[in-house]
A and B are shown apart, each in its own frame.
Chain A
Amino acid sequence: MEMTTILFYLFSIVTITSASIMVFSKNIVHSAFALMFTLMGVAALYVLLYADFLAATQILVYVGGILILILFGVMLTTQGQSFNFKTITVNLVPASIASVAAAGLLIFVFTRTEWTVSEPNEHSDTVHSLGMMLMGDYVLPFILVGFLLLVAIIGAIVMATRLSTEIENQSN
């Protein structure tokens, strides 16, 4: 058995197990920590797919950014002093049927389709070629997405600061 195979199964099991823990855990903080292991497992799968720069970006942006944002959201929206992190679960049966059906259908389609697989061309690293593509063919989407990020961050700041001024007005 090759090393790649063992690593693939190891990281897939880590990813899927921690994603299941995230979904089925009652405690939202446990869910957030399980999400961290899921994201790291996905980053490891990216490495197995020769996407080293994307794996680094995944860890920096998801684990270092989005997960911290989610934990801040949990901290700022817990009700009262009781430290009640429980989440309510509803519609368990219809949701299970829907998601199992979705998974079954997707797996059926993926396994039955004859993909035209081509031999991968070996990249020593992807960073250089990705950078050249960003400044070449993809320069317009690159600038647009930078603009989108600017708008999103300004929007988030405006919403958050309006929140604090409303609280001040209510207390006056």
Chain B
Amino acid sequence: MIQWLAEPGLTHFLIVSAILFSLGLMAILTKRNIIMVLMGVELILNSANINFIAFSRFTELSLDGQMIGLFVIIIAAAEAAVALAIALNVYNRFKSINLDDISLMKG
């Protein structure tokens, strides 16, 4: 066990990313502020990225994993810009960014 702890390998990075994923899930499920939910999504994207890059370091995936990570970062930037524009429009229309107040489509 001590030996396993003393040599950080693939599994250690994967465990860090699993904890980050569960924290992001927690933020998405418990918070009712659009901005907080967005931050949770960013956390989950980061945890997925850690997985890609850990596999690129420790397995045959090599630099292809880093390339996928690069594309994930680019798409996260596009997603954040569009999501914040949507959040501003929602705030302008409903005067609130509480997700429970935005329920016009509820049957």
Closest to B91 in A: A77
Q: Would A66 and B66 be within 8 Å (CB), given that A90-B30, A153-B81 are in contact?
A: no
Interface contact B13-A45, CB-CB below 8 Å: yes
Interface SS of chain B = helix
Q: Give the distance in Å from the alpha carbon of A152 to the alpha carbon of B31 in the complex.
A: 26
Specify which chain A residues have a CB less than 8 angstroms from the CB of B23 in the assembled complex: 16, 19-20, 22-23, 99
Interface contact B25-A98, CB-CB below 8 Å: yes
Q: Is A143 in contact with chain B by the CB < 8 A criterion?
A: no
Interface contact B49-A77, CB-CB below 8 Å: no
Interface contact B6-A5, CB-CB below 8 Å: yes
Which of the listed residues A23, A48, A92, A111 has the most CB atoms from chain B within 10 Å of its own CB?
A: A23
Q: Is B92 in contact with chain A by the CB < 8 A criterion?
A: yes
Indicate with 1 or 0, residue by residue over A98-112, a CB within 8 angstroms of chain B CB atoms.
Answer: 111011001100110
Indicate with 1 or 0, residue by residue over B56-79, a CB within 8 angstroms of chain A CB atoms.
Answer: 111110111011011101111111
Q: Give the distance in Å from the alpha carbon of A45 to the alpha carbon of B46 in the complex.
A: 11
Min CB distance, A152 to chain B, in Å?
Answer: 4
Q: Is B85 in contact with chain A by the CB < 8 A criterion?
A: yes
Closest to B61 in A: A118
Min CB distance, B87 to chain A, in Å?
Answer: 6
Interface contact B53-A89, CB-CB below 8 Å: no
Specify which chain B residues have a CB less than 8 angstroms from the CB of A46 in the assembled complex: 50, 53
Supply 17 A–B pairs (Cβ within 8 Å), ascending by A: A8-B12, A15-B16, A38-B46, A61-B76, A62-B42, A77-B35, A88-B33, A95-B26, A110-B14, A111-B11, A118-B60, A120-B58, A121-B62, A123-B63, A133-B63, A160-B85, A163-B88
B interface residues with partner A (beta carbon < 8 Å): 6-16, 18-27, 29-36, 38-40, 42-43, 46, 49-50, 53-54, 56-60, 62-64, 66-67, 69-71, 73-82, 84-89, 91-92, 95-98, 100
* Inter-chain pairs besides A57-B70, A148-B74, 9 sampled, C-beta below 8 Å: A61-B76, A61-B77, A73-B88, A87-B31, A90-B32, A95-B25, A98-B25, A118-B60, A152-B79
A interface residues with partner B (beta carbon < 8 Å): 1-2, 4-5, 8-9, 12, 15-16, 19-20, 22-23, 28, 31-32, 35, 38-39, 42, 45-46, 48-51, 53-54, 57-58, 61-62, 65-66, 69-70, 72-74, 76-77, 79, 87-92, 94-96, 98-100, 102-103, 106-107, 110-111, 115-118, 120-121, 123, 126, 129-130, 133-134, 138, 141, 145, 148-149, 152-153, 155-156, 159-160, 162-163, 166-167
